[in-house]
Amino acid sequence: MLTAEHMSALIRRYFDGCNDADVEGMIACFTPDAVHYFPPGMYGGAWRGARTIAENWAHRVATLGSAWTIDRLLADPASAQAVIEWSHFKTAEGTVLRGDEWYVFDEASGLIAEIRAYYASPVDPTRAELALDGYDYAGRGYPLTCPVPRPHATQRTSST
């Protein structure tokens, strides 16, 4: 039986794996056939399979200096679903992307089976922060700087 504590801890473990570029750690959070969906035009479409998801995020850490925070998290064990609000710091580009993700858990294994990502703003290469216009991120306690130092912070690369 799923609990809110288990669901929250697994999502946090997944994000720790993302920040550490720990492929095996991320894989352990997913069903083997998990799917991560993105908005149109993002990351080449849906990523299918736990290994694909993990390797793609590890690649983003290596090439974009990516680091993530979980800013809000709600878990509903009765529906086997959770939702988070996150910030994605692409330190090599000097950009911040904000959004939400909807998680669906496999009740039998307790692992993540699906993630649906929703972004606060379409990708706009002229903006350093892709977020909701007029929303007081600072006033509401959201991170404004990347909490994880990245060696790529001075490097510029493409935004995929």
CATH numbers and ranges of domains, the chain:
4-120 (3.10.450.50)
Between vectors from CA 60 to CA 128 and to CA 155, what angle results, nearest 5°?
A: 55
End-to-end CA distance of the chain: 38
pLDDT digits (tens, 9 = 90+) for 4-59: 999 999 999 999 999 999 999 999 999 999 999 988 778 888 999 999 999 999 99
pLDDT digits (tens, 9 = 90+) for 93-129: 999 999 999 999 999 999 999 999 999 877 788 888 8
Alpha-helical runs (H) found in the chain: 4-20, 23-27, 50-64
Its pTM stands at 0.83
